[in-house]
Structure 1
Amino acid sequence: MTSHNVARLRTRSLGLAFTTALLLLGLSPSASAQVPGDAGTQRLPVLGASIAGTDDSSALAFNPANIGFMPGAELRWNGIFLDEDLGVPWQGHAFSFATPLFLNLSMGLRVDAVNPTAQAPNPENYQFVTWGLALSSTDAFSLGFSLQRSYSDAAVHDRLASYTIAMSSRPAPALGLSFVGSDLNGPTNRAGGSRSPTYDIGMALRPTGERTFELGLEAKYIVDSDDWIPRGTIGLDIAPLGRLTGGVSMHHLDQSEPDYVASLGLALYNSNPAGSTELSGGVVGGNALGSDDTYANPYLGVAVRGFREPVGGEA
């Protein structure tokens, strides 16, 4: 058997084992109903990112498999700053680091320091720590695993400890597919409330076969509430400056007029043969944040990479 066939067999075996594990986990009993406000204990969202197409250290928050595609190390900071009158909790700072290791392994660590808005159901501060590991058997297939735990003086935010399993496949340059199972153990906080497992499925479409233009289509399923949250993302390289990103998600689809969250951002790159830096910023708004007239809540980011960031299809 040739080395190429061995690699293909190994990839298929890993994929089959991963799918079987997800099915078994999905059939396990879910935990008790959530305590009101417990759903607010979450990491900061990565606005404009695609679960199937984003390959940087921020992927630790939504798809740990994607850090397996990183060609080098990255250190990143992101911050989200919301109007204090809004009812969602995700405001604060996130610090992440990820790097390739050896034997096709990559590892990362992320710390979220969350300072909820004054009008959030539980406005106490909390922190989330995420550790992730990815195995990329080829440059088109990666498995990911992460452990995450919350810390807070407030019982409703404290001791939420869970794990995530993820898979990303890129069968063609124009197509990326991802599947993520999060909070699969139905974690329980110190107040006795639990969180529902969730499943995300997404695809990234790159019509040119490069990341110059990318369209992301995704859906999240929340097991306990039987809710679906569809989401779309877009990425467009603006050579030689950087990349324009956007995203929109729909919430409460059972309503006659579902709520939404939308974001628009711009990342500026400074690349050289030894590495690159990124400065990013944007705005997020939408009535799902808790107000019908909120459109300009800023978010910012800075990243330092040990690899060049290509723009506009450059090699």
Structure 2
Amino acid sequence: MASEPDPSESRTQRHKCPACYKQFKRKLHLIEHMKISYHSVHQPRCGVCQKHCKSFESVREHISGPLAKSNCSKIFLNQGCNLCLKVLDSPAALNEHKQKCCLNAPVPLGTKIMPCIESHVILSGSIMDERHNGKGHGAIAIDCEMVGGGSDGSIDLCARVCLVDEDENLIFHTYVQPQIPVSNYRYEVTGVTEDHLRDAMPLNEVQDKILKILYNGESVGRIRLDGEKVRLLVGHGIQHDLDCLRMKYPGQLLRDTAKYRPLMKTNLLSHSLKHLTKTYLGINVHCFTGMISSQAF
């Protein structure tokens, strides 16, 4: 007669998820976990043990946090890149990788007072087409600086907008004429003064120029079909920027670093752009007065 399983062993048996290594007392709980976790190759992983994590923040905690796994932490200390969290084969390979991974700080746009006609730059469509030829959808990053309107200065008004391409080339940059009187210029953060906005470009003209760059000659009706010329729009809190510009752009063409799950702090809370650029790019933004933070790429 076959021996019956020891009840004590069944009580202590743990069911482990092969992706994130979470353990459950009951197999049913493991099945429910796997149904809702959606582990995939797109999730950040530990470069040592290949554990799936919800975000890069979780990977960082796993390999270098207060409760880091000892084996992973030891290997990462000698062979891991602190910026991209990649684990290399050897310390020599790590040194070579760091020279490529560490980016230079961006050149600030400056805060000198410029007439509106000189404060914007547009790269011709033919050059843009040549640059993105063969890449499918080209991408444009956008960032806006907001001043305050209303009696308490709490209403965000777009006062400055900047667009750059994937190679960090400046495509468009201008000051924007606010729709209502400005009560707080937030100079410590924006670097914008009354003189900057005196001859600023009207909002409707800014909208037309931005949409012309993004649509890239593609008709609105073809965007949902096979609009290959239209460009992806990248930003941080991008919907807020579009709302302040009073613009709409197709949702399938938006890429928001504030909502990209691997970069979020929790499932509902996003990191600031300043934190992301410092942590993952090694770049400080908003450190100089008037520096616009177009660091979405």
Query: TM-score w.r.t. structure 1 length?
Result: 0.22
Point out the structure with the larger strand share. Answer: 1
Query: TM-score w.r.t. structure 2 length?
Result: 0.23
Point out the structure with the larger helix share. Answer: 2
More relative contact order in 1 or in 2 (CA 8 Å, sep 6+)? Answer: 2
Q: Of the two, which has the highest radius of gyration?
A: 2
